[in-house]
């Protein structure tokens, strides 16, 4: 199934070289399937097309996804970052839970 999705997204992004949403979906799918280098290459290809043909940089969504992939952050299938909260949880002797 994943192979079929990746094949379909590859065709869609080839047919729509400026469509950031499709590229982001394909980047996410590649990354979630352990193909990080290909996801990063796809962003570069999108960026080159946008800059050279339209004079535009990729938008914030594509850039944030690119940064997340560069930093090897965890993302879910919807593209949401799964960052640790950084909260420190402690239980007092009385059993009360406190978050710092």
Instruction: Show the 3-state SS of 14-78.
Output: HHCCCCHHHHHHHHHHHHHCCCHHHHHHHHHHHHHHHHHHHCCCCCHHHHHHHHHHHCCCCECCC
Number of folded domains in the chain? 1
Give the pLDDT confidence score for residue 94 in this predicted structure.
58
Instruction: Give me the CATH number covering residue 92.
Output: 1.25.40.10
Reported pTM: 0.75
Domain ranges, residue 68: 2-99
Give the pLDDT confidence score for residue 75 in this predicted structure.
72
Give the pLDDT confidence score for residue 2 in this predicted structure.
76
pLDDT mean by block of 10 residues, the chain; 100 residues: 90 97 96 96 98 97 96 71 46 50
Give the pLDDT confidence score for residue 78 in this predicted structure.
55
Residue 9 in 3-state DSSP? helix
């Amino acid at each position: 199934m994943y192979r079929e999705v990746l094949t379909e997204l590859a065709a869609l992004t080839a047919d729509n070289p400026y469509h950031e949403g499709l590229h982001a979906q394909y980047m996410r799918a590649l990354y979630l399937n352990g193909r990080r280098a290909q996801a990063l290459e796809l962003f570069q290809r999108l960026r080159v097309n946008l800059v050279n043909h339209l004079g535009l940089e990729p938008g914030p969504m594509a850039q944030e996804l690119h940064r997340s992939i560069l930093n090897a952050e965890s993302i879910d299938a919807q593209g949401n970052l799964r960052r640790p909260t950084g909260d420190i949880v402690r239980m007092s002797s009385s059993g009360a839970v406190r978050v710092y």
